[in-house]
Structure 1
Amino acid sequence: MNTVYTSETGVRPWESIYPSHDAGFVTVTLINHDFLSVWESWCDLMEPLSEEWPIKRKWYSAMTSGFCSNAQEYLFKKNTAKTLQEGDMCKKNEKSNIYSTITKLPKSPRKIESFNFEASHDTILVMQRTETKIEELWSEMTSFETQISPEKLSSFLVQQGNILLCRFYESETHAAAQFIYQNRHENTVILESVSNLFKKINTEDVHHYINNTNIL
């Protein structure tokens, strides 16, 4: 089945039961019945948009609880260091004792490995018009270490005006790719591009689409 999309005001993480309705933000969601189909649609959309948002980084919280021993923490740091490339960063938040990692991704969406975002509810794809220092970005994103909530996403976007956030969701019945951004004139190109590629459905019709109970 073809990918469809919804567009709503506010910050509306797919799994959140308490979304934000703030009109200063927009959430666009691509929906299909499996992750690879959504990923292909995401790539189709991001190819032209990559000229606007060329900088792509993956953020994730590497450890959400304390280590059992110093040896375990040492091995974690050693093994993580082996996976990091130039421009990547993994650092411990001394206040929370949680490690989070930022890795640089290719500009071209088709060069990004899809497995980076499969079953990645706790991962954020950050896309920027201009590159900020990774240390500054890491510091701002420590707020997501324990929870990625609408309130935290809103606060982060207010501080980072040139950023487009993407998140992916996957279940047995469907998959979704979400774009969350500030409702500003320079960002209208996102919705224009989405509408040219995919069919829009109303939010109340999403369950029909997922369950194949209605022909859209």
Structure 2
Amino acid sequence: MAQSNFGLSTQVGTENEVTVSQTGTLNASLVGQDGVKNETTVTQVGFASAALVTQDGRRNSADVNQAMGPLNLAIVDQDGRRNEADVDQIGVLNVASVSQDGRRNSSTQFQLGAGNLAVDSQTGRRNDADTYQLGFLNQSYVTQDGRRNSALAVQTGIGNMSNVNQSGMDHRALTVQTGTGNMSGITQTGDAHLAVSLQAGSGNMATYTQSN
């Protein structure tokens, strides 16, 4: 007997939309919406991946695409208005997590490879976080609390780690890591700081602390 895919959605409110497409086996999609005009799209192609999306508020948007597998996991939690999350996973054992609380926050996560981890947490308004991981066992963490903060992390290679923490307004952080086992940490508090961390090779470490 062929193994089946599983999908479940619950909707409370007005004009919420869920679209789920599953091709393969043992994929699971769970979507919960409470509010007005929230939109979720989940596309799963392959084997044994899971997507969990919860939306509470108005006009939040979540788009999850998972290919190959097994054991890709995407979690999106949106609370507020007009938040946007876009998660793309191609490979195996990748984990992506997006938490948004506020208005007009945006998160993009792209994972190609195996065992990558991306975690975005956004509180406030108009924050933007973009993570691109190509390789194996890379980790990226972005925490934003405030307004109009922006963080971009690009990781290619194996076992790189990036951690960006922004509190305040109008911060910009860029992290690019190529190679193996590089570590970068950026902490920004106050207003309008800029940090750029570029690492190539192996075992490099960079730490930024900016405040005013």
Query: Which of the two has greater helix per residue?
Result: 1
TM-score, length-scaled by structure 2: 0.24
TM-score, length-scaled by structure 1: 0.24
Q: Which has the higher contact order (CA 8 A, sep 6+)?
A: 1
